[in-house]
Amino acid sequence: MTSHPIRTLLLLAMAIALVTACSSSHGESNARTGNVRVMLTSAPATTATGLATTASAVPGTGSWGDDGGSDMLSRLSQVNVTFATLMARNMDGDLVDLATDLPKTVDLIPIINGQAITLPDGTLPVGTYDQFVVVITHVEFAFTDGSKVDLTPPGGGWTKIIPVQPFEVVAGQTTTIDLRFNPSHAFEDLGGEFHFSPDFDCDSHEGGD
């Protein structure tokens, strides 16, 4: 029978080995990933090229970029969109999920008015990426009169593929991605049918500690 002191030493040795193994695994995991921060800003008004969908809503006409759109802006208090998935394409052509705390609902009106909003930080495997994919699963228009309209998404949600200048994800560093929302023709009211165009571009990124 194993004596009490020897049994204690064996248990202690096993505990040390377990902690060492866990620490080693955690360190290897950190060495294989880098931090990624996605910042949402507003792009200058240009012609939008994103996808669209429709839903019954308050009668009106026009889009963001013309007189009808200005009238629509005056009636909107919030445009709440839910970011469900963010992905990046590596140089092998594989789409990789950004490991982050999603879904996240964001009001686009402050962004259009110049405010920058940062999504929860995430991680990607170390490597080079040349494309971002944004998937939005819910859009809600809130009007100044208190009414609200939920838009019905296409299958899988609104998806926007965004080419980016190739960027590096480096272990121990944070890479910031600037996703710029294009407000031109993003929201349309065509005689009672609302359209949403999730148009983003990304022309800059920066590394950090």
Q: What pLDDT, on a 0 to 100 scale, did the predictor assign at position 81?
A: 96
β-bridge mates for residue 42, sequence order: 181
8-state DSSP, 157: -
Region 5-18 average pLDDT: 50
Residue 104 above 50 pLDDT? yes
Structure tokens at 164: 């980016």
Average pLDDT of the segment spanning 65-79:
68
DSSP state of 153: P
Q: Strand runs (DSSP E) across 5-73, as ranges?
A: 33-42, 54-56
CA distance 64 to 82: 20
Higher-scoring residue by pLDDT: 69, 162: 162
**25 pLDDT above the threshold of 50:** no
- Whether pLDDT at 28 is above 70: no
User: Is the CB of residue 104 less than 8 Å from the CB of residue 138?
Assistant: no
Tokens of 27: 């360190």
Which tens digit of pLDDT belongs to each residue from 166-192? 999 999 999 999 999 988 778 888 877
- In this prediction, residues 28-55 reach a mean pLDDT of 64
Alpha-carbon gap, residue 86 to 65, rounded angstroms? 28
Where are the domains positioned within the chain?
A: 1-31, 35-208
Q: Is 191 helix (H, G, I), strand (E, B) or coil?
A: coil
Residue closest to 89 by CA, chosen among 167, 157, 187: 167
Higher pLDDT, 189 or 15: 189
| Pairwise CA distance, residues 139 & 51, whole Å | 13
Please tell me the least confidently modeled range out of 22-31, 75-84, 99-108: 22-31
pLDDT at 45: 52
| Residue 6's pLDDT band (cuts 50, 70, 90) | low
CA distances to 112, 113, 135 from 116, rounded to whole Å, are 9, 9, 19
